[in-house]
């Protein structure tokens, strides 16, 4: 029979929890559904694809320094910084909630909400900026 110490069980729980919460923090949504989020911000067509491509490039480029400096700086401080910088995701959600205009239907989708860039260009740009900042702060941490 295997004998586990309290220290081993605690470390296993912390590692498993960190991995679980990493998947639930919103990064998958920001990478997979970013085209829809930018569409809700009022961008469509080529502009939307360019913005989402830039976000993917930011994700890849910012991950490289993290791989280099992870063991030098320590994993715990980096994880704590990443936990604080999730504020960019909350800021983006707040902007979308306060500045949206409900639309009856777009291409058969009746649940679309859109920030109209003509009326609120600063909010639309802020959604893009918060998205980039969230990805740039999440990827290395």
CA distance 23 to 7: 25
- In sequence order, the β-bridge partners of residue 109 are 106
In a domain, 7, yes or no: no
Check residue 131 and give its pLDDT: 92
In a domain, 12, yes or no: no
Two structure tokens written together for 60: 């890849």
Mean pLDDT per 10-residue segment, the chain (141 residues): 76 85 76 84 84 92 88 84 88 85 65 63 88 91 82
pLDDT at 132: 94
Residue at 19 is within a domain: no
**56 CB-near residues (< 8 Å, 6+ apart):** 31
Instruction: Please report the pLDDT score of residue 6 as a whole number.
Output: 79
Does a structural domain hold residue 105? yes
Is residue 101, in this structure, part of any structural domain at all?
yes
pTM of the shown model: 0.76
pLDDT of residue 58: 94
Per DSSP, what are the bridge partners of residue 113? 102
Contacts of 40 (CB under 8 A, 6+ apart): 96, 100, 112, 113, 114, 115, 127
Establish if 6 belongs to a structural domain.
no
Contact 19, 6 (CB under 8 A): no
How many alpha carbons fall within 13 Å on the CB side of residue 48? 14
What is the tally of structural domains in the chain?
A: 1
Range of the domain at 70: 27-138
């Amino acid at each position: 029979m295997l004998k586990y110490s309290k220290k081993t069980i605690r470390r296993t729980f912390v590692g498993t929890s960190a991995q679980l919460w990493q998947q639930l923090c919103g990064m998958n949504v920001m990478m997979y559904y970013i085209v829809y989020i930018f569409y809700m911000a009022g961008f469509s067509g080529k502009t939307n694809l360019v913005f989402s491509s830039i976000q993917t490039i930011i994700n890849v480029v910012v991950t490289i320094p993290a791989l280099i400096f992870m063991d030098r700086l320590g994993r715990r401080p980096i994880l704590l910084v990443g936990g604080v910088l999730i504020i960019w995701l909350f800021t983006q959600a707040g902007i979308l909630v306060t500045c949206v205009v409900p639309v009856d239907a777009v291409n058969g989708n009746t649940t679309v909400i859109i920030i109209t860039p003509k009326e609120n260009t600063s909010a639309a740009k802020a959604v893009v900026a918060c998205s980039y900042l969230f990805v740039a702060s999440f990827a290395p941490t």
